[in-house]
Amino acid sequence: MAELSEPPRLVWPTVGVRESYLAGERANLLEEGESIELLDEREKDFAGFVAQRRGVQIRWGVPSTMFWYVSGEHYLGALTIRHSLTPELADTGGHVGYHVVPPWRRQGHATRMLAAGLVECERLGLDRVLLTCMPDNHASRRVILANGGVPDGRGSTEDRFWITLGAQGRALSGP
């Protein structure tokens, strides 16, 4: 396991972590039993892929921003903020989605990455944020609860949590 020379932070997708991104996302897809073919496409034109991912884009039918969690040349994971909710996102998906790639898991990175993501949500003007996760995703549930998530029942498949931004209860603060 590589040592991190600086604390990770959320940045826009960058070509500076190319090798680490491809290795980490390959491990992630293999773990999920998914095809790694899309990574071959990204590898062929990584600069083009990165350019396409930067800034606000319409995804899931709403303006969305993707961040990568990066320390130096190391890519640790990604976090996406959906600036608003559709009825579908209010049921499943919520405002924020994230993952940490396998080489960097179980070191507290997701908990700190979500804390940093909530700061970005505040910058976007959101005052409360919906997160959802599968009932058996104990790690993600812990990440959400550590960041002040308040359970709000279950949608069609996923548990729902609200985080009020600027609330005293939030365990961690962003950068």
Binding site for ligand COA (CB under 6 A): 98-100, 105-111, 133, 137-140, 142-143, 146
Shortest CB 116 distance to ligand COA, Å: 12
**Smallest distance from the beta carbon of 25 to ligand COA, in angstroms?**
11
Nearer to ligand COA (CB atom), residue 48 or residue 141: 141
First-last CA distance in the chain: 24
Query: CA 36 to CA 33: how far, in whole Å?
Result: 9
How large is the greatest C-alpha to C-alpha distance in the chain, in angstroms?
46
Q: Which is nearer to ligand COA, 65 or 111 (CB)?
A: 111
CB of 100 to ligand COA, least distance (A): 4
The beta-strand segments (E) located in 12-158 are 56-59, 62-71, 74-82, 96-100, 128-133, 150-154
Residue number, 29 or 124, with CB nearest to ligand COA: 29
Which residue of this chain has its Cβ atom nearest to ligand COA in the complex?
110
Amino acid at 65: T
